[in-house]
Amino acid sequence: MTIVAESPDGELMTLNMGPHHPSTHGVLRLIVECDGEVVTSCQPDIGYLHRSIEKIGEYLEFPQFVPYTDRVDYVCAMNANLAWCVAAEALYAMDPASVIKIPERAEWIRILVAELNRISSHLVAVGALAMDMGAYTPFLHAIALRELINDLFESICGARLTYNYVTIGGVANDLPAGIEPRIAAALDQIEREMRGFNKLITGNTIFRDRLAGTATISAADAVAWGLVGPNLRGSGVDFDLRRDEPYGFYDRVEFAVPVGDAFAGANGRVGDAFDRYIVRLLEILESTRICRQALKHLPPAAPKAADLVGGWQADVKAALRKPPKGEVHHRTEMPRGETGYYLISDGSKIPYRIRIRTGSFTAVAIIPKLAPGLMLADIVAVIGSLDIVLPEVDR
């Protein structure tokens, strides 16, 4: 703690929150200046987790970069794999001779695992936010449900955190026999348990009052600061890439897009921390709905991986040998919002340039605007409600 200045009512203090503070959700350092318990400024200090992933990708062949995308957001690595693969496939689609035709079964598997991982990620978000506010039990319920999905992913690809499962042209392997009933049963349990989770914490007076009206972001500010995903929708902006710029088979499924609506009643404001929590809670239920549709439409497995209906992996050997020259920007809807890949190819097997746009980066950027005037303890609510993950920030 360092005294840095004088205020009319006493001394201003500079406090370091992080980079090892549990509520920063990773190695984030916040330089907080406060007058007693009232925050006067808050400046993020990032870069502790920088690993130069984008530059590494410029030394690897297109498929070799997939495991690195797991580390862009390890809480939703299936979605991170998918974001890179659809961007690469969009590049190949620029040349009619190198278009990659993804099997129909693979497309439905992609949606299935992406939405399961969205559920898993949002469970961590809402559970951790409850714990940040002092309620430990809801976090345990959320983690127990997340373990159901981890078990499914372990059966599907052998991993529980970083999957390397989605590939350019499909997925690494077909779903194991008998997994569909297990997924359906897990979805039923998640919906059932989330009703209990909702009763346990959502209506809790302390939890609600800590979040309602706190760190409100208007729709105009959310757009101006480049917020995406639940943080954007929590401010009342009705936009979701899966619906508005669909990729894969997302145009074949039906789901609602929850938006902020001053859910906490008289104390709530559209775009406050409680809205961001509620949007994620509702998105969990919408993702279960999408997963059920994916299971329903999943074609029977074919013996050949490259079968255009029942296969799981396109034959991409010829295409990968000579990618087309050009550049492409493709964005997908990850649990923390839009992740965009800007990809430049010079025609070689190795990308010329890779740049990644993530949702957590802009979420961290808005913290200095939200913090002044809040109580010191409310900074924890701000971080938790924005659901930042530091690998997305630092890369």
Record the tokens describing residue 143, joined without a space.
């983690």
pLDDT tens track for 353-371: 999 999 888 999 999 999 9
pLDDT at 134 over 70: yes
Ranges 25-34, 178-187, 224-233: which has the least confidence: 25-34
**CA quadruple 158, 160, 165, 171: dihedral positive or negative?**
positive
Q: What is the pLDDT of residue 1?
A: 37
pLDDT at 338 over 50: yes
Record the tokens describing residue 31, joined without a space.
């330089």
Q: What is the pLDDT of residue 120?
A: 95
Cα(274)–Cα(261) distance, integer angstroms: 10
Cα(219)–Cα(215) distance, integer angstroms: 13
Cα(90)–Cα(102) distance, integer angstroms: 12
Domain 53-358 top-level CATH class? mainly alpha
Spatial CA neighbour of 295 closest among 249, 232, 231: 249
pLDDT tens track for 248-292: 999 999 999 999 886 655 566 888 899 999 999 999 999 999 999
Model pTM? 0.93
The structural domains of the chain, with segments of one domain joined by +, span: 53-358
Query: If you write DSSP's letter for every residue of 155-211 in order, what string do you get?
Result: HHHS-SS----EETTEESSPPPTTHHHHHHHHHHHHHHHHHHHIIIIIT-HHHHHHH
pLDDT tens track for 191-242: 999 988 888 898 888 999 899 888 889 999 999 999 999 999 999 999 999 9
Residue 303 has, within 13 A of its CA and on its CB side, a CA count of: 0
Percent of the chain with pLDDT over 70: 96
Cα(85)–Cα(67) distance, integer angstroms: 11
Cα(12)–Cα(224) distance, integer angstroms: 31
